[in-house]
Amino acid sequence: MQVETIGGPEIWLRGPVTPSPPSHSAPSAPQQAEIGAPGGSAPSAAEGGFSWMNAHGGAGASTLAQLFGGHDSGLAWPDVAAGRPGGVLLVARTHASGLQAVSRILNAARQNEIPPGVTLSAVVLVADAPGRLPRELGRRIKVIGSVVDVHRVPWVPSWRTGNLSGPLPREVAALRRLVDGN
């Protein structure tokens, strides 16, 4: 797996990513997205809900939106001007290309390239296969988790065939609380 290097003096703090307000003191300085405290300003379902956004094709945002509720934003940032929830749960698979897609989007957020009114609240990683992750993918997830809250969704065989009627796995309890606002 090729590791992307990110240059610059920026300091990353863990938590939701929101665009920083424009600075009037240094107009020529580039603005950087702020990353606040975990759960700090993330909306809940009661406050308008979340938009599920795929980091790459087939990540699972549609399935998670059906299971947890919220808006399925597909591969695009939600259109908050059209009334879509601005709190984004970024969804990716746990394979190498899925984690690289998450890194690219986090870097775009860091460079303030996300639409106004949108907050990257958390990353939701859906297992790409049953069993344990290879060690190098686990390390990459740790790096992502140092920047933003990460929720893991285990492999659920019935979801693969479209059967979403069973109970949610216990491993998603924290994600359920986030979505419900508890």
Domain positions in the chain: 49-180
- In angstroms, rounded to a whole number, what is the distance separating the alpha carbons of residues 109 and 140? 18
User: Which pLDDT value is given to residue 4?
Assistant: 44
Q: What's the pLDDT at 5?
A: 41
Residue 43: its pLDDT value, please? Answer: 46
What's the confidence (pLDDT) of residue 49? 84
What pLDDT is attached to residue 177? 93
CB 152 within 8 A of CB 55: no
| pLDDT at 18 (0 to 100) | 52
Residue (of 65, 117, 123) closest to 91 by Cα position: 123
pLDDT score for 14:
52
Tell me, what's the pLDDT at 115?
93
The structure tokens 């609380």 sit at 177
| Predicted local confidence at residue 181, as pLDDT | 84
pLDDT, residue 48, reads 55
User: pLDDT (tens digit, 0 to 9) for every residue of the chain, 182 residues total?
Assistant: 444 444 444 444 455 555 544 444 333 333 334 333 344 444 443 345 899 999 999 999 999 999 999 999 999 999 999 999 999 999 999 999 999 999 999 999 999 999 999 999 999 999 999 999 999 999 999 999 999 999 999 999 999 899 999 899 999 999 999 999 85
